[in-house]
Homo-oligomer: A and B are copies of this chain.
Amino acid sequence: MTRQELFEQIKKKNSYLCVGLDTDLTKIPKHLLKLPDPVFEFNKQIIDATHEFAVAYKPNIAFYEALGSKGWESLQKTLDYIPKECFTIADAKRGDIGNTSALYARAFFEQMSFDSITVAPYMGEDSVKPFLEFKDKWVILLALTSNPGNADFQLQETRDGKYFYEEVIVTSLRWTTPDQLMYVVGATQVDKLATIRTIAPDYFFLVPGIGAQGGDLEEGSRVGMNTQCGLLVNSTRAVIYASPKEDFADAARKEAGHIKGQMTEYLDKYLSAI
């Protein structure tokens, strides 16, 4: 998917919501467990209920990998089921030496045909480049994550007085264009999100940390939005586990619709203001 196509979809749906599909057998409603593929059945109903409001879906690969080959089948079926207009993110946080990253890229972009994959930056340029060799496929590089451990290394200061995550962004800007690279930027520290927007004005950010983790959607949207929106704000638990019962899909629809309503307002307020 191209950047323009993603933006068109955001405008059409009036939303920049990404729904995380971290589908966990211990958390989905019990009545699904007697079906042959409960993970896919759960995802299917969540997608049916939310695709009107969501522009992207992000399965976290760990949840599927933990189920072995059955999990990979559920993942493939889920990916096939997601409507074609939606942007798909393999939240895999991969990254290895060049020939190995090339294998991961083929697995996620060719065999499974995701639009994008999250990548960890620690091993540097040659670990990221192989993912950039696929036309209209995207790397979403971890910059500032929303977990408590981000303080350990991402918030270390470099000799130039920059945060380490800024170094990651500034360095990786040289590797490609905003048409193939996005950054993971947590919403839990709005001042830093604002600074990152000045460093990378044209890039899309995948933003976790809204809701349960404490990030504020309006503030994040206000400081993070660019002329093409430039934000995919992720919500996982608040949407997919909105109800633990048989009405889970309805509850997910309500929650996604609620978030979409806010996003419509913020697009109106902050997109036109730029």
Enumerate chain A interface residues (CB-CB to B < 8 A): 22, 60, 62-63, 65-66, 68-69, 72-73, 91, 93-98, 100-101, 103-104, 106-107, 111, 120-128, 142, 145-154, 156-159, 161, 164, 167-168, 171
Contact = CB atoms under 8 A, between A and B. Distances in A.
A69 B66 contact: no
Contacts of A167: 153, 156
A127 B152 CA distance: 11
A222 to B, nearest CB: 25
Contacts of A62: 94, 96, 100-101, 103-104, 107
B104 A126 contact: no
15 contacts: A22-B100, A66-B103, A68-B111, A69-B72, A93-B94, A93-B96, A97-B145, A97-B146, A122-B153, A122-B154, A123-B149, A126-B147, A126-B148, A153-B171, A157-B158
Nearest to A126: B149
Nearest to A98: B147
A66 B106 contact: yes
Nearest to A152: B124
Given A62-B96, A62-B104, 7 more contacts: A60-B100, A66-B103, A66-B106, A91-B96, A121-B152, A122-B122, A153-B171
